[in-house]
Amino acid sequence: MKISRFKWALSAAALAMSASAFAAPPTPAMISNACAGCHGTNGASAGPSMPSLAGHNKESIVTAMKKFKSGERPGTVMGRLAKGYSDADFVAMADFFSKQKFHATSQALDAAKVARGKSLEEESCSRCHMESGKEGKDDSPIMASQWLPYLEIQMNQYLSGHRKMPEKMAEKVKPLSKQDLDALLHFYASVK
Amino acid sequence: MTMERRSFLKLMGAGAGLGAASLMTGCAGLGMEGPTGGRRVVVVGGGYGGTIAAKYIRMMDKSIEVVLVERNDHFVSCPFSNLYIGGLMKDLSPLTINYDKLAANHGIKFVQAEVTGVDAGAKLVRTSRGDIRYDRLVLSPGIDFRTEEIKGYNLATTPDVMPHAWKAGPQTVLLRKQLEAMPAGGTVVMSIPLAPFRCPPGPYERASMIAMYLKQHKPKSKIVVLDANPDIVSKKGLFLKGWKKHYEGIIDYRPAKKVTEIDAAKKTVLIEGLEDVRGDVVNVIPPQRAGAIAVAAGLIGPDKNWCPVNPTTFESTLRKDIHVIGDACVAGAMPKSGYSANSEAKSCATNIVNAMNGRELVDMSGINTCYSYLSAKEAVSVTGVYLVDKAKNAIVAAPGSVAVSPDLSELEAIYAESWLKNILTEMSS
């Protein structure tokens, strides 16, 4: 057997496939694939607290990224990461993830809470979280099949004032009890 | 078996997985030594980099044949293995993946074999089960140890007495067993090599996890951390804060203490001939270089340790059609971490597919995140976004993107667990 010897004296330039000088700027897929280590391949999160992005609406992703970057929305890592990207990058990511197949999760959920949530959602939330949370009006995020622990963390951040709730959403959330809100999140997590 | 092969196997510390007998019958062959049809990529190493390179090539182009060669039938993650050492996991199963679903879902040919060499001229990977011809080769070999820099260190025997636990698996289990067997009031000694090494915050997380274990289970014990570096290499402020909060009097951190010699029988490490330190448990993390296969393939650069690569394609600057990703390569500003390897693999895969189809290459946009636990419930992270600087022809951090957590955080510990789940799921399905 022949093992190639240490010969780094060979001309590097002559061997390289191509200098990066000739490469195109990162594509939406290149930018977005880097997110998958946390959010799952193509944005389909394996859970339980990392949110799925696959099939989410473009506007909600762009808004979220902008708010993370400005600090308006609290985050553990997203605020720091968002600083590495431009607004054009945000549009590229949003475009990429919005085109991916919606990720239906199967989570262990309390059936009674799901049923209670279902009875409340139309009246309270469906104006913006439409089609049982499968669609989002303007920049309202998609909540169908989202991981429950993630939704709970976010709702807690709204209720504690950490994350600023949209005014019109706050009007609907305020009158509800903790139990009802919990039931609503169970319902959205259950939607396939 | 020829002399060269035998000495090379010794160099690789092989024989760990496969017995000599199976190595010799390996010549029966895989039927992959003949012509390839021009579209075969062979990926060596089934860890954070290799699995992702194999998967993404197939996701992007099903007409490219991908062969993944790995010596084990499973992989154990180094990230989070410190939590096992600290007693937060009952076994290694949350850290372990296999290749069945990955291979089936994407039509990847998985070959469990020991790679024994690379013939770059003939474009052949030599394995214990026969030769495999490639059009492009991706090496994601991880690290091996520069044990020659520690007098008295024998790679075949020392780790059984003084575990490094810097490759997860049996070594990780051994270190925890030694901690469990240690009497209360004992001393753990841990040594950290000069940077760069795999996982910059890893040793400091390990010190935290061991201290947590001692605090709970071994009263009056302590851990002496001998760091060859002049200071804590990563997340310094956060580690110091966590140590003060939880482990005052348990962690004895000593910077600029380089272990140059060991005496395994006496469980003692020596620091530059000046000072010796004895421990009941001794965790020596030796200095590191690219995995032996990369060294043997002639991919090591002027620093004699790591593999220089093109920042866009991760093709070796020394050997055509061989790409190196993960801890083994020099990825500019990107640290040697699992998340970096994941990002590098995707840039490498994308551009192999582009090159094989005569398409324009695309610069990388990558991310690194490393979570570290300070206690059972608190974690911190460092994050960064990375891109190619054309003028420097190197990977640099996007301005303002590299930063650490503002404080210890319970929420980060919750997200970190999901990070592990997601990245291992991405690698195994």
What is the mean pLDDT of the segment spanning A173-181? 97
Determine the number of helices (DSSP H) and then strands (DSSP E) in chain B.
12, 25
DSSP H or E run through A176: none
The distance of A67 to chain B (nearest Cα, Å) reads 16
Q: How many residues does chain B have?
A: 429
Rounded to a whole number, what is the distance in Å from the CA of A127 to chain B's nearest CA? 30
Give which of A22, A80, A105 to mutate to test B binding, by max B Cβ within 10 Å: A80
Pull the structure tokens for residue B404.
């650490």
Q: Is the sign of the CA dihedral B189, B194, B198, B199 positive or negative?
A: positive
Asked if residue A135 and residue A89 are part of one domain, the reply reads no
Helix (H/G/I), strand (E/B), else coil: B295: helix
Could you say which DSSP state residue A25 is in? Answer: P
To the nearest whole Å, the CA of B314 is away from the closest chain A CA by 9
Asked if A20 lies within 8 A of B363 by C-beta distance, the reply is: yes
| Predicted pLDDT at B28 | 56
3-state helix, strand, coil in chain A (%, to 5): 50, 0, 45
Chain B hits for A49, Cβ within 8 Å: 414-415, 417-418
The answer to whether residue A16 sits within a structural domain is no
Cα B1 from Cα B324, distance rounded (Å): 28
* CA–CA distance, B139 with B50 (Å, rounded to integer): 7
- Interatomic CA distance for residues B186 and B202, integer angstroms: 23
Q: Do A84 and B8 count as a contact with CB atoms less than 8 A apart?
A: no
What is the arithmetic mean of pLDDT over A33-55? 97
Are the Cβ atoms of B121 and A80 closer than 8 angstroms? no
On the CB side of B262, CA atoms within 13 Å amount to 28
Residues of chain A with pLDDT > 70: what percent?
89
A62 with A126, same domain?
A: no
A44-69: average pLDDT: 97
Whether residue A92 is contained in a domain is answered as yes
What is the mean predicted confidence (pLDDT) over A94-110? Answer: 97
Tokens of B2: 């020829």
Q: Judge whether residue B3 has pLDDT over 50.
A: no
Q: Is A46 inside any structural domain?
A: no
Instruction: Give me the domain span that covers residue A83.
Output: 28-36+52-101
Reply yes or no on whether the pLDDT at B14 is more than 80: no
Does B273 contact chain A (CB < 8 Å)? Answer: no
Instruction: Please check whether residues A167 and A109 belong to one and the same domain.
Output: yes
Distance between CA B204 and CA B197 in Å, rounded?
13
Long-range CB contacts (within 8 A, 24+) of B177-180: B178/B281, B179/B85, B179/B210, B179/B213, B179/B214, B179/B218, B179/B281, B180/B217
Beta strands in B193-324 (DSSP E): 222-227, 251-254, 259-263, 268-271, 275-278, 281-284, 288-290, 307-308, 322-324
Mark whether A125 and A189 lie in a shared domain.
yes
Taking 90 as the threshold, does the pLDDT of residue B7 lie above it?
A: no
Percent of chain B whose predicted confidence (pLDDT) is above 90 = 92
Q: Which of A20, A53, A162 would best serve as a mutation to test chain B binding (most B beta carbons within 10 A)?
A: A20
The mean pLDDT value for B225-254 works out to 98
**Chain A residue whose CA is closest to B411:** A76
Using a CB-CB cut-off of 8 Å, the residues of chain B touching A50 are: 415, 418-419, 421-422
Same domain, yes or no, for A189 and A119? yes
Q: Hey, is the C-beta of B339 within 8 angstroms of any chain A C-beta?
A: yes
Report the alpha-carbon distance of residue B168 to residue B161 in Å, rounded: 16
Is residue A121 a part of any domain in this protein? yes
**Contact state of A153 with B411 under an 8 Å Cβ cutoff:** yes
Is B26's Cβ below 8 Å from some Cβ in A? no
Average pLDDT over residues B245-262: 98
Distance of CA A37 to the CA centre of its chain: 13
Interface check B47 vs A, CB under 8 A: no
Beta bridge partners of B387: B365, B396
> Looking at residue B17, what is its pLDDT?
37
Q: Residue A22: its pLDDT value, please?
A: 84
A65/A140 same-domain check? no
Residues A110 and A69 in one domain: no
Residue B44 CA to residue B70 CA, distance in Å, equals: 6
Does B298 sit within 8 Å of A8, measured CB to CB? yes
d(CA A173, CA A170): 5
> Quick one: closest CA in A to B53, which residue?
A33
Average of per-residue pLDDT values in chain B: 93
Judge: B403–A80 Cβ closer than 8 Å, yes or no. Answer: yes
The answer to whether position A9 is within a domain reads: no
How far, in Å, CA of B325 to CA of A10, rounded?
21
Residue A117, token pair as written in the block: 């949530």
Q: Which two tokens stand for residue A97?
A: 């993830």
Residue of B nearest to A89 (CA): B365
Region of poorest pLDDT, from A5-19, A43-57, B121-135, B367-381: A5-19
Contact A8 B318 (CB under 8 A): yes
Minimal-distance CA residue of chain B relative to A84: B401
Which position has the higher pLDDT, B7 or B246? Answer: B246
pLDDT (average), residues A108-117: 98
Mark whether A113 and A181 lie in a shared domain. yes
A123 located within any domain: yes
For residue A33, give how far its alpha carbon lies from the nearest alpha carbon of chain B (Å). 7
Domain shared by A108 and A192, yes or no: yes
Find residues 86-145 of chain B whose CB sits inside 8 Å of chain A: 116-121, 126
- Asked if A91 and A135 sit in the same domain, the reply is no
Q: Are both A192 and A132 inside the same structural domain?
A: yes
Report how many domains make up chain A.
Answer: 2
- Domain's final residue, options A101, A120, A139: A101
Helices (H), B226-373: 236-246, 292-296, 338-356
Residue % of chain B over a pLDDT of 70: 93
Average pLDDT over residues B144-169: 98
* Segment A115-127, tens digit of pLDDT: 999 999 999 999 9
Which site among A27, A33, A35, A163 would you substitute to test the B interface, given the most B Cβ atoms closer than 10 Å to its Cβ?
A33
B317 touches chain A (CB under 8 A): yes
CA distance B407 to B420: 21
Q: Which residues of A touch B385 (CB under 8 A)?
A: 34, 81, 83-85
Query: Is the per-residue pLDDT at A101 higher than 70?
Result: yes
Q: Is the pLDDT of residue B2 over 80?
A: no
Question: Are residues A113 and A176 located together in one domain of the fold?
Answer: yes
Tokens representing B285? Answer: 């993390």
For residue A161, being part of any structural domain is answered with: yes
Pick among B114, B415, B428 to test the A interface (most A CBs inside 10 A): B415
Mean pLDDT for chain A overall: 91
Residue B143 has pLDDT above 60, yes or no: yes
Dihedral of CA atoms B318, B324, B330, B333 in degrees, nearest 10, equals: 130
Verify whether the Cβ–Cβ distance A149 to B8 is below 8 Å. Answer: no
pLDDT above 80 for B11: no
Q: Three-state DSSP class for A8?
A: coil
Confidence of residue B10 (pLDDT cuts 50, 70, 90): very low
Catalogue the long-range contacts made by B20-29 (C-beta closer than 8 Å, 24 or more residues apart): B22/B128, B23/B114, B23/B128, B26/B113, B26/B127, B26/B128, B26/B129, B26/B130, B27/B130, B28/B129, B28/B130, B29/B129, B29/B130, B29/B131
Backbone angles phi, psi at A135, to 5 degrees: -125, 155
Alpha-helical regions (H) of B271-337: 292-296
Q: Which of A9, A6, A19 is nearest to B290 (CA)?
A: A6
Nearest residue, CB atoms, B296 vs list A3, A18, A34: A3
- Longest Cα–Cα distance of chain B, Å, equals 65
Q: Which one of B126, B363, B401 has the shortest CB-CB distance to A26?
A: B363
Q: Are A40 and B422 within 8 A, CB to CB?
A: yes
Question: Which residues of chain B does A5 touch, with a Cβ-Cβ cutoff of 8 Å?
Answer: 298
Minimum Cα–Cα distance from A81: chain B residue: B401
Cβ-based contacts of A33 with chain B (< 8 Å): 56, 343, 346, 350
- On whether residue A3 sits in a domain, the answer given is no
Q: Is the pLDDT of residue A15 over 90?
A: no
Mean pLDDT of B28-44: 90
Statement: residue A83 has pLDDT above 60? yes
**Chain B residue at shortest CA distance from A26:** B363
Instruction: CATH number of the domain at A115, please.
Output: 1.10.760.10
pLDDT in tens, B329-374: 999 999 999 999 999 999 999 999 999 999 999 999 999 999 999 9
List the beta bridge partners of residue B329: B307
